[in-house]
Structure 1
Amino acid sequence: MMAGTSDIILTRMMALHPKIIDLTLDRVWRLLDALGNPQRDLPPVVHVAGTNGKGSTIAMLRAGLEGAGKRCHVYTSPHLVRFHERIRLAGDLIDETALSAVLDECEAANGGAPITYFEITTVAAILAMARTPADFTLLEVGLGGRLDATNVLEKPAATVITPVSMDHEQYLGDTLAKIAGEKAGIIKRGVPCIVSRQQPDATDVIEAQAMRLGAPLLAQGQHWHAARERDRLVYQDERGLLDLPPPNLPGAHQIDNAGAALAVLRLLGMGDTAAEAAVTFAQWPARMQRLATGPLAERAPRVELWLDGGHNPAAGQALATHLSGLPERPTHLICGMLNTKDARGFLRPLAPLARSLTAVAIPGETNTLPADETARLAAETGHDACVAESVAAALDAISARDPRARVLICGSLYLAGHVLRTEG
């Protein structure tokens, strides 16, 4: 193997295509074919699409399957700190030697032809997973579904569509129906599809696609139900009722995500042990993650510090719902966003709950929204907004005037990754 570290190879891969996103499957099929079509050798796959909740649902699925003694491959994106986070092989993060080897092999097989970074790294993940024994593969769609690089499976064990909302309109379409059509592109002929609670326009599109392909649809509210009752999670489907602890991942929206994971586990024949493990042991960083240790927490020891990577209107509403249910405490936001996101839509539901919003630019991101622009948009949606040079500076200013505040760092997974990598 010629190359040194995976970081060097990944940097070279960034230059293989002029666009970061270019939705088509032609380049992926070409490279997979050159590598002997490793996608055909994956352990049974659960393929998950949706706008919000994909990662949390996969985290609970993984916890449930591993709780039942199964070994799982997992592919998710983006990573927060290191690329290795994207690929788990039989439960463990891929190590540096294995990652460098599959990246190098894919680069050689590609022969310098145009291919996006996400496409070639997805193929590398598939290659690594196909060569490692496991019981299941959990595969998260990167963007959309129909033309996503992960959509190369003839017959997965199941597909899942978590809630669909407006996001990535420049790539997926400017209506909910168009976006749902892209997500529904992962549905396969005859393969069961678990569907979370959807808005009517999305439901109509998903149901039509499933009917066209003869794919059994297991929809929330029709075929399975999940609700929080007396601080318990109650799940019910045609097989009976489960009375479980509430999800350990915080947020009211995690009830629906847990329900989707439980529906998949039941479909796969997993029992009560898997169900309880799913809601008890799931881990998913930067989704209402409490930062109780580290440099930032030490700067403001009396502040209750949280981190979340949500970045679209549905995520803003979910955060607002969660914050409104927490014990009363003055809440302040530190927010950085990408210029490709609907900042107003994300910020609007949070305005009634926040005493202030401090805007920051996301370090190292060319597509960051400038801090003053984030502050301007925040002010338009009702926030008392100002700017700071960094997350640390913002936290210092907030804690100086409100030392027992609740502070939520939010607006982007890229900002969350920066915090976890350098300050969290």
Structure 2
Amino acid sequence: MKIRASRISDSILIAVSGEEPDPAHQNISRSRRLLKLIAAFFSLFKLLLTRYRRPEFGSLRRDVWCLDEREYFESFQQKDPDDSARGQGGASQQEQRSQRGKGKGKQTARLEPIGDLGYSGSTFFTTPNGKYLIKSLPRRFEYKFFTRDLLDPYVNHMRAHPHSLLVRITDVVHAPHPTLGGLLGVAPTHHIIMENLLYGRDAEGGRFSNKWETYDLKPNDYFFPERDIADGRLAPKSVKDKLVDEFHDHVRVSAANKRELLRLLEADTQLLADHNAIDYSLFLVRYPGPRASTDDGADDAVPDNVPFVDSDASPWRTGLVDADGKWTYRVVVLDFFWARHTFRAWALTSLVKSFNKVAHKGPMSITANPADYRQRFLKMIQDIVVEV
């Protein structure tokens, strides 16, 4: 639905590019405030969104990750066709706000919708320059867990471990008041903004985008009903394809690079286990490295200067060339919004235990013990990444 996507896009853009509240405008009459809330309630798609705990996320961007704040906000504005592949052009944040004020709040920018992915029913957008990914969190238990239980530990962890490989969430936008669209489920009320690990794939007009590979990796020795009941005959292929990716290769790196990867992931997964997070995944991206042209031909070689977002980051996040020079890898830990102690996970755990009294299939990834899930997750990494 193009109309729905454009309305959601406008809501997010207005929230991100909106100015800090002006104390002088806090004295509006109660009647005007009430009318505004009533109008917002009857919105279906274009919800009144605001940025959640913006000081903390602003501090992470500026002080921890060392992202360019001006570049960040310019990422949400329409990119000039003459801008470079690194997306540093465009109007300033102040000019964007001025244009919004003149056009009754109309936005000239549009986020790029990239469809619904996975089981959660989330919708995804990218910024016009492709640097950031916006994901909706339509399931209440997910955003409640992140905002109420995990956000403070996440912020503290990032400050203590600035090179952490947990996905960098740069903002959360949400509807602070009930809306008809949110109650009916036709528009998501919570969105997270995070780095886009695929930034750079469209360099040189997307000429090399078909050479990029992506894998959403979880321990695959858990019980997956769609795959493991009746040999998967009860579920369509489209469903089974979204279960868990398999990486039929090895990441060949030096011993030092493997130690660094495991050091970071051990700290990250310990944080998640300590707060009962399970079912997270390793998002692995790879594209041909500088020596891949010896096999594929010089004319098809991926350019050496594949762009990435400038920040203080580990090479595992921005692009690490393997020991053979054949591939460049990027990795982050994604989707740590499912908590073992939530009611839904507890109910499913009870259901699976009852089922296993007969079937003996074992735990699911969404009912696993957090410590066990962490152990299997790290073993998966140990098996995939090899020293040379």
If asked which structure has higher relative contact order (CA below 8 Å, sep 6+), I would say 2
Query: TM-score, normalising length from structure 1?
Result: 0.27
Query: TM-score, normalising length from structure 2?
Result: 0.29
